[in-house]
C-alpha cells in the first residue's frame, strides 16, 4: 500500500524539531484527557498526525515521553513565574505577582496543568519528579517569608516556615485544579481570591478585611 505521504498531497515532511513539538502537544492533550495509563501510544501518534514508530524514534518509550511532557510544561511554568519575580518588592507584592503569574499560566495551559499535576501526583514513577519541583516552589515561598521576618529582626524555626509555605502551595494547586475545571472562571479573579486567603486568613476575612492589588 502507498504511504500516506503520497496519498495526501497536503502532507509535508517536516524537520525533527517541529515534529517533536507536535508530538509533545498531542501527548499532553491525550495524557491529560485519559490519564497516563489509559493513554495509548497509538492515540498520541494519531493525534499528532504521525505514526507510532516516529514517536519512538524521536522521544523514546512511553515513560520517557511522559517525562518529556512534564519537563516542557514545567519549564514553561517556571519561566512564566520567574518573569514576574522581583526580589526587591515588599512580600505581599511579591506574593501577589507570583500568584497572578501562576494562575495566568494555568488558565492559559489547562491541559498542561492537568498533565503536570493531576496525573503525576498518583503515579509512583513520576511523583518524585513532581515533588522536586514542588520543593523548589516551597523553598521560594519559604525564603520570601524568611526575608520578611529577618527584615523585622525576628526569626521562626525553619520547619514552621516550610510547612506554612507548603500549605500555601497546596492551596494554590487546589485552586488551579478548580480553575482548570471551570473554563469560564477568570484567572485574575482566582488569583485575587487566593491572595486574600493566603495573606489575610479566614479570621480577618470573616471580620471584613479585604486585600486589593495596588495597581489597576
Partner DNA sequence: GCGTAACCTTACGCACGAGTAGGTATGCTG
Partner DNA sequence: CAGCATACCTACTCGTGCGTAAGGTTACGC
Interface residue list for a copy of itself (CB under 8 A): 33-38, 91-92, 95, 118-124, 145, 148-149, 152, 154, 160, 163-164, 166-175, 177-178, 190, 193-194, 196-208, 211
CB closer to a copy of itself out of 5 and 151 = 151
Round to whole Å and give the CA distance between 8 and 60.
27
Q: Which of 67, 65, 71 is nearest to 48 (CA)?
A: 65
Chain residues that interact with DNA, rule: CB under 7 A: 1-6, 12-16, 19, 38-42, 50-54, 56-57, 61-63
1 binds, among a copy of itself, DNA, none (CB under 5 to 8 A by kind): DNA
Cell 513539538 belongs to residue = 21
| Helix axes 62-82 and 124-151, enclosed angle (nearest 10) | 20
Q: How many CA atoms lie within 13 A of 206 on its CB side?
A: 3
Minimal distance, residue 114 CB to a copy of itself, in Å: 9
10 binds, among a copy of itself, DNA, none (CB under 5 to 8 A by kind): none
CB closer to a copy of itself out of 23 and 169 = 169
Three-state DSSP class for residue 6: helix
CB closer to a copy of itself out of 50 and 141 = 141
Minimal distance, residue 83 CB to a copy of itself, in Å: 22
Round to whole Å and give the CA distance between 5 and 29.
25
CB closer to a copy of itself out of 87 and 124 = 124
123 binds, among a copy of itself, DNA, none (CB under 5 to 8 A by kind): a copy of itself
Round to whole Å and give the CA distance between 50 and 43.
10
92 binds, among a copy of itself, DNA, none (CB under 5 to 8 A by kind): a copy of itself
Round to whole Å and give the CA distance between 171 and 198.
8
- Helix, strand, coil % (nearest 5) of the chain? 75, 0, 25
Amino acid at each position: 500500500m502507498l504511504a500516506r505521504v503520497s496519498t495526501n498531497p497536503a502532507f509535508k515532511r517536516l524537520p525533527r524539531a517541529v515534529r517533536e513539538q507536535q508530538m509533545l502537544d498531542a501527548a499532553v492533550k491525550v495524557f491529560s484527557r485519559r490519564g497516563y495509563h489509559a493513554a495509548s501510544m497509538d492515540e498520541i501518534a494519531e493525534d499528532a498526525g504521525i505514526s507510532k514508530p516516529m514517536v519512538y524514534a524521536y522521544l523514546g518509550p512511553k515513560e520517557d515521553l511522559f517525562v518529556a511532557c512534564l519537563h516542557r510544561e514545567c519549564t514553561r511554568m517556571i519561566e512564566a513565574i520567574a518573569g514576574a519575580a522581583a526580589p526587591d518588592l515588599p512580600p505581599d507584592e511579591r506574593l501577589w505577582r507570583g500568584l497572578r503569574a501562576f494562575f495566568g499560566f494555568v488558565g492559559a495551559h489547562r491541559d498542561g496543568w492537568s498533565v503536570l499535576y493531576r496525573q503525576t501526583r498518583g503515579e509512583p514513577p513520576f511523583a518524585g519528579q513532581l515533588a522536586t519541583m514542588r520543593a523548589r516552589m516551597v523553598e521560594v515561598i519559604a525564603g520570601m517569608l524568611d526575608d520578611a521576618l529577618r527584615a523585622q529582626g525576628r526569626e521562626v524555626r525553619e520547619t514552621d516556615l516550610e510547612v506554612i509555605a507548603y500549605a500555601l502551595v497546596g492551596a494554590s494547586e487546589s485552586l488551579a485544579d478548580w480553575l482548570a475545571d471551570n473554563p469560564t472562571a477568570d484567572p485574575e479573579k482566582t488569583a485575587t481570591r487566593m491572595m486574600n486567603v493566603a495573606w489575610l486568613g479566614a479570621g480577618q476575612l470573616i471580620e471584613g478585611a479585604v486585600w486589593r492589588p495596588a495597581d489597576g
